[in-house]
Chain A
Amino acid sequence: MERKTVLLRFAAVLAGASIASLASSETHAQTIKGTHLPADLRIVTQRMLDLAEGDGNNFLHPNHNYKQTRFYPNAQINTANVRRLRPAWLFQVDVRESLETTPIVVDGVMYVTTAYNHVYAIDAATGEQIWHYKHRIGPITAYCCGPNNRGAAVYDDLLYMGTLDAKLVALDAKTGKLVWETQVADPELGYSETMAPVVVENKVLIGTSGGEYGIRGFLKAFDAKTGRLLWTFYTTPENSVGVWATKDATGKDLRRDIAKEKEILAKIGDPYRWLGGPVWQTPAVDRVRRKVFFVVGNPAPPLDDSQRPGDNLYTNSLVAIDLDTGRYHCHLQYVPHDRWDMDAVSPPVLLDAPDETGKIVPAVLHAGKTGYVYVHRREDCSLIRYSEPIVPQENMWAPPTPEGTRMAPGANGGVGWSPVAVHPGLGLVYALAIHQPMTFHLQSSPYPGGKLWLGGAFRVSPADEHWGALVAVDYRTGAIRWEVKTPQPLLGGALATAGGLVFFGEGNGRFNAVDAATGARLWSFQAGAGVNAPPASYTVDGKQYIAVAAGGSAQLDFKRGNAIIAFTLVE
């Protein structure tokens, strides 16, 4: 089947976003040259990856582009016609377990990953399977929150996926055949891979999960052609103590007993070797400054601080490092010496935002489990502002006790791993929020050598009402513009489009489109299983599609399923 890539013009929609418009025309100047069969997949060039922000045909990055804005620049599906959005096809994967994947689409071929590390290539126009790869997972795996995978990365003619047994595999994108695999870390010590990697300039960047297993977190760069390790940045430096911060990034008292921590430090030394600090969501890449921005997860064990004196750098932080060398550039720690699993996990987003004086500066944004949306200067990671709380905050930061201390947000957030989306024209960021208070129980235990290590237990308090909300925050001011409440906590991700829409799913199976400016509900579809994955969009033969996985969530125990659904407009 021959397929034409259609030039789409978004300049009018992107009025005021001139760079993006320019980028889109450049992309199309490139992609319009070829016509492509699935079996004759076109090579993904660095230039295509760089210009993804304006690419209204493909969906090349897990969060659409290196900045991770999740703003799709095609307006064919829009506020005026979204009511005519219907399933075009439904693909069923072989695994009925959590789906947290973002579909990647290259010239009409979709790649999706599943729980337990299957990968499918699918004809994005028809839903027909092109190939299926199943990773042979080794016997030793350790992961806390479901056998999840959040997606693949593509570059040249290869596709990359991290695996539960802590490997990075490279597949031939045309055939699904394994080209190389490399061990990223030792699963017997609690390392696993669930995040989608990112590829830039022949480097595959991948972090690790395992914050609940006493790992030492990192971000590593592997040679995209060979799998050779190029550099490693450890998220817990050999001096992880920091400045003995008594307040969080917003000035709230952390209620630390610094004198006691200093005593412990004198006794046991720096705890960096098993301090946690996973990087379990995809980094953003600043191509101009050649910096990689990512967020770092919780210290280990999450609830018990008796064996980890100090600020526990760089856990719960935004961190920037040098793309070429992996060397430290800057960081900002949101919650020093965390005891509530308040890890930073929702992928950071690069954008331009006004600083305190109103001057537009290169900024980076992160939506926290804490319930705040933080906006930083890219130059030095310093905080420009933080939003109003987007969920109720109660009893922060009361230390965990053996009997249990109630606090909101709970350990799932605030904003969990869900990627946010940004609408640059409206100056809004859309975050999937969770209200799920928990009691935090302290129970000390020694480092267990790669086993689950919580230092107690989190308990969802059954007496509390739990709910979710899609919250639109003006990142220029930190004010909440609107919110859409949902009956269950939200986990999955958002997609904003130039059609003035925001797409997001719910654990009860609903997949929704709302008006990006007002939050008005415009469209909904019942998928039959939890929609707990970030949506994507793409265009084939001039027709725009919205795609999302409906597989439920192990983490929140939403109904499991196995569907990838693509929607398009009917006449």
Chain B
Amino acid sequence: MTVAMRTSKGWFAGLVVAAALGSGEAAQGQEMRPRAAQPAPEIPLSERLAELVPTCLACHGEDGVPNYAESPIVDGQNEGYLFVQLRDYKNGARKHEAMNEIVKDLSRQDLRELAAYFAARPWPRVDQPPPEDGSIDVERLLAEGQCRECHGADFLGDGTMPRLAGQLTSYLASTMRAFKLKERTNNAAMGSLLDTFSDEEIEAIARYLGAL
């Protein structure tokens, strides 16, 4: 894993070359630009946010489309979820070398403002292919995993439950695998729910959700 350099002014665009954010397992480093999205509209930034946000955009994308396959879309994600993940990176409940380092000195107020800022940006549309017609019955897997109970009928989540619909397929697959392997441990229930799913089934679910 490439570790970004930290200068006296904090994390900078050098981070672009760092590990993909989000799932906690080794980064693939591959580029993720499924299609050029519309530039995200300008949302006025406080002085503090103006200082913090560029670091985020380096991986999560200026226009909301992440620059790396395993960095999640955070623009338009649910505010409560973003806050709790940032909090978990800060307190170490969610492990990711770069994210843990980036948020470690941020205050709770910083995390709240960052969450509110990114939640207010529009969710970018990325065109991702649905699962190929095949032997895996995704609807059955979604029922078995009780996915809609928390993530909602349309997988838009709410509050501290993340939106899955239209999230990067590559990120979804890697974070579900990380849950299953207990590498991502900041929601143990997800680990248990995914316990019996094969990698192929996880991939099929990820593709289904990514294409929504």
Which chain A residues have a beta carbon within 8 Å of chain B's beta carbons? 96-97, 116, 137-147, 164-165, 187-188, 212, 441, 443, 445-446, 448-449, 451-460, 462, 552, 554-555, 557, 560
Would you call B4 an interface residue if the criterion is a C-beta within 8 Å of the partner chain's C-beta atoms? Answer: no
Would you call B115 an interface residue if the criterion is a C-beta within 8 Å of the partner chain's C-beta atoms? Answer: yes
Name the interface residues of B156-212: CB closer than 8 Å to any CB of A.
Answer: 158-160, 185-193, 195-196
| Segment with Cβ contacts to A, from B15-23, B35-43, B59-67, B77-85 | B77-85
CA distance A96 to B153 in the complex (A): 9
CA distance A116 to B149 in the complex (A): 14
B160 near A443 with CB under 8 A, answer no
CA distance A557 to B139 in the complex (A): 12
B186 near A443 with CB under 8 A, answer no
> If the complex has contacts A454-B192, A462-B140, are A557 and B148 also in contact, measured as CB distance less than 8 A?
yes
> If the complex has contacts A97-B153, A462-B144, are A451 and B191 also in contact, measured as CB distance less than 8 A?
no
B132 CB, min distance to chain A CBs, angstroms: 23
B80 near A441 with CB under 8 A, answer no
A sample of 20 cross-chain residue pairs with beta-carbon separation below 8 angstroms, ordered by A number, consists of A97-B152, A97-B153, A137-B159, A139-B80, A139-B112, A140-B159, A142-B160, A145-B149, A441-B192, A441-B195, A443-B188, A445-B185, A445-B191, A446-B188, A448-B188, A453-B189, A454-B189, A455-B192, A457-B195, A459-B144
Complex interface: chain A residues within 8 A of B112 (CB): 139
CA distance A560 to B193 in the complex (A): 24
Complex interface: chain A residues within 8 A of B146 (CB): 458, 460
A554 near B144 with CB under 8 A, answer no
A445 near B188 with CB under 8 A, answer yes
Complex interface: chain B residues within 8 A of A446 (CB): 188
CA distance A138 to B115 in the complex (A): 12
- Choose from A165, A448, A458, A460 the contact partner of B143 (Cβ within 8 Å): A460
Give the number of residue pairs across the A-B interface with Cβ within 8 Å: 94
> If the complex has contacts A139-B79, A139-B83, A557-B149, are A443 and B192 also in contact, measured as CB distance less than 8 A?
yes
Complex interface: chain A residues within 8 A of B80 (CB): 138-141
1/0 contact string of B26-46 vs chain A (CB within 8 Å): 000000000000000000000
Interface centre among A138, A457, A459 (most CB of B within 10 A): A457
Query: Taking chain A's interface residues, is the majority helix, strand, or loop, or is none over half, making it mixed?
Result: loop
- The 3 A-B pairs with the shortest beta carbon distances in the complex, nearest first, are A141-B159, A445-B188, A139-B79
CA distance A449 to B188 in the complex (A): 11
A457 near B158 with CB under 8 A, answer no
- CB closest chain-A residue, reference B160: A142
CA distance A443 to B194 in the complex (A): 12
A280 CB, min distance to chain B CBs, angstroms: 15
B180 CB, min distance to chain A CBs, angstroms: 11
> If the complex has contacts A146-B149, A164-B159, A555-B149, are A451 and B186 also in contact, measured as CB distance less than 8 A?
yes
Complex interface: chain B residues within 8 A of A557 (CB): 143, 148-149, 153
> Can you add 18 more A-B contacts, CB < 8 Å, to A448-B93, A454-B188?
A97-B153, A138-B80, A139-B78, A139-B115, A139-B116, A140-B84, A141-B80, A143-B159, A188-B84, A441-B195, A443-B191, A445-B191, A446-B188, A448-B188, A449-B93, A454-B189, A455-B192, A460-B143
Complex interface: chain A residues within 8 A of B191 (CB): 443, 445
CA distance A452 to B151 in the complex (A): 13
Name the interface residues of B66-124: CB closer than 8 Å to any CB of A.
Answer: 78-80, 83-84, 93, 112, 115-116, 119
Complex interface: chain B residues within 8 A of A140 (CB): 80, 83-84, 159-160
B187 near A452 with CB under 8 A, answer yes
Complex interface: chain A residues within 8 A of B152 (CB): 97, 147, 554
B74 CB, min distance to chain A CBs, angstroms: 14
CA distance A214 to B150 in the complex (A): 17
Complex interface: chain B residues within 8 A of A165 (CB): 159
- CB closest chain-A residue, reference B194: A457
A451 near B195 with CB under 8 A, answer no
- Choose from B78, B188, B192 the contact partner of A451 (Cβ within 8 Å): B188
A185 CB, min distance to chain B CBs, angstroms: 15
Complex interface: chain A residues within 8 A of B140 (CB): 462
Complex interface: chain A residues within 8 A of B195 (CB): 441, 443, 457
B32 CB, min distance to chain A CBs, angstroms: 27
CA distance A345 to B55 in the complex (A): 48
- CB closest chain-A residue, reference B142: A557
- Choose from A116, A454, A459, A462 the contact partner of B158 (Cβ within 8 Å): A116
Complex interface: chain B residues within 8 A of A554 (CB): 148-149, 152-153
B188 near A453 with CB under 8 A, answer yes
- Choose from A144, A459, A552 the contact partner of B150 (Cβ within 8 Å): A144
Complex interface: chain A residues within 8 A of B158 (CB): 116, 141, 147
Complex interface: chain A residues within 8 A of B116 (CB): 139
> If the complex has contacts A97-B153, A139-B79, A443-B195, are A451 and B189 also in contact, measured as CB distance less than 8 A?
yes
Interface centre among B152, B153, B188 (most CB of A within 10 A): B188
A452 near B159 with CB under 8 A, answer no
A141 near B187 with CB under 8 A, answer no
CA distance A157 to B160 in the complex (A): 34
> If the complex has contacts A443-B195, A554-B153, are A448 and B186 also in contact, measured as CB distance less than 8 A?
yes
CA distance A398 to B137 in the complex (A): 31
CA distance A457 to B146 in the complex (A): 10
- Choose from A141, A458, A462 the contact partner of B160 (Cβ within 8 Å): A141
- CB closest chain-A residue, reference B140: A462
A560 near B153 with CB under 8 A, answer yes
CA distance A522 to B18 in the complex (A): 68
Complex interface: chain B residues within 8 A of A451 (CB): 186-189
CA distance A97 to B144 in the complex (A): 20
- CB closest chain-A residue, reference B188: A445
- CB closest chain-B residue, reference A451: B187
